[in-house]
Each structure stands twice: as C-alpha cells, then as structure tokens.
C-alpha cells in the first residue's frame, strides 16, 4: 500500500463536515449524532452513509481513504460529503422523514446541489473524476494498467 503524507486527518475531516453543514445545510436539523470517518480505500465507492450497527441511531458518513492523497482536490471531498449530507437530509440513514422511496430517485442529488447553489461543485467533481480517477487508482495500486473503472457515491 502506498504511504501518502497529508494534513487530511480526522480533525480536518470533521471540520470539513461542520463547514459544509453550516454553509449549505443550516436548515437541516441534527436530531442524532452524526460522525464522519475515513473509510476503506475503494475503486468505486467515494462515500457512504449508514447507521452505526452498535447503537442503530448514530449516522456515520464514510469517505474514501484515497482522499487523504493531496492529489485529490478538496472540492472532490467536499462534493462527496455534500452528497452524503443530501442523503441524510432526505431521511436516508438519519432520523429525518424520508423524502422519496429511493436515495437517487429522479436525479435528486444533482437537484439538491443546484437548489443549494452548488451545482457547479457537482459538475466540477464529475469532470475531475472522469479525467483523473483512473490515474489515482493506478497510483494507489487499486487498478491495473489498461482497465477502466466506474465510481459512485452511495
């Protein structure tokens, strides 16, 4: 595994979540504990949100550990957290009322970015991933030369 020096530690990640919540989701109540942690290095999953199996009430946002690499721009990480916050705000793996049956129904994620004035962030992340993600995976040994990959944010 590649060792990468980075200032992106747990405190940095928690501060980024707090900043995104304060700036873009101030209207969303937080009736439960919400944690953010570095998840596993993954080819396709950029982030996820789930309930803690230990207590069933804490929401845990996991962010791809590859994002510690400083070659990954901060806007890619911010967009991933924004995406997971959208799931939280729409009642997925949170105690809030569920707004739709499926978490990605009808392009709801991109619509939420747009409604909160951040559609450009969404588009910027998509463009960066399309151009650079394969090289990042190659660098981290998660992809063999000559293979492509699709990615997703859960």
Query: Of 77, 76, 70, 62, nearest to 4 (Cα)?
Result: 70
Query: Of 82, 94, 107, 92, nearest to 33 (Cα)?
Result: 94
| Beta bridge mates, 48 | 62
What is the three-state SS of the chain?
Answer: CCCCCCCCCHHHHHHHHHHHHHHHCCCCCCCCCEEEEECCCCCCECEEEEECCCCCCCEEEEECHHHHCCCCCHHHHHHHHHHHHHHHHCCCCCCCCCCCCCCCHHHHHHHHHHHCCCHHHHHHHHHHHHHHHHHHHHHCCCCCCCCCCCCECC
Residue 35, phi then psi, degrees to nearest 5: -115, 155
What tens digit of pLDDT does each residue of 38-80 get?
999 999 999 999 999 999 999 999 999 999 999 999 999 999 9
Alpha-carbon gap, residue 67 to 136, rounded angstroms: 10
What tens digit of pLDDT does each residue of 99-129 get?
999 999 999 999 999 999 999 999 999 999 9
pTM tops 0.85: yes
Fold classification of 10-139 (topology level): Zincin-like (3.30.2010)
Q: In the structure, what pLDDT confidence band is assigned to residue 148 with cuts at 50, 70 and 90?
A: low
Average pLDDT over residues 128-139: 95
Q: Answer whether residue 153 shows pLDDT above 60.
A: no
Alpha-carbon gap, residue 55 to 58, rounded angstroms: 7
Q: Answer whether residue 144 shows pLDDT above 80.
A: no
What tens digit of pLDDT does each residue of 16-46 get?
999 999 999 999 999 999 999 999 999 999 9
């Amino acid at each position: 595994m590649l060792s990468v020096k980075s200032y992106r530690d747990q405190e940095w990640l928690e501060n980024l979540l707090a900043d995104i919540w304060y700036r873009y989701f101030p209207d969303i109540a937080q009736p439960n504990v919400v944690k953010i942690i570095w998840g596993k290095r993954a080819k396709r999953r950029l982030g996820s949100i789930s309930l803690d199996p230990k207590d069933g009430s804490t929401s845990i946002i996991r962010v791809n550990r590859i994002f510690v690499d400083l070659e990954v721009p901060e806007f890619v990480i911010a967009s991933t957290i924004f995406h997971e916050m959208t799931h939280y705000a729409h009642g997925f793996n949170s105690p809030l009322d569920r707004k739709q049956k499926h978490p990605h129904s009808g392009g709801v994620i991109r619509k939420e970015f747009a409604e909160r004035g951040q559609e450009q962030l969404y588009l910027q992340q998509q463009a960066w991933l399309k151009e650079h993600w394969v090289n990042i995976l190659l660098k981290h040994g998660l992809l063999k030369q000559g293979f492509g990959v699709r990615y997703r944010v859960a």
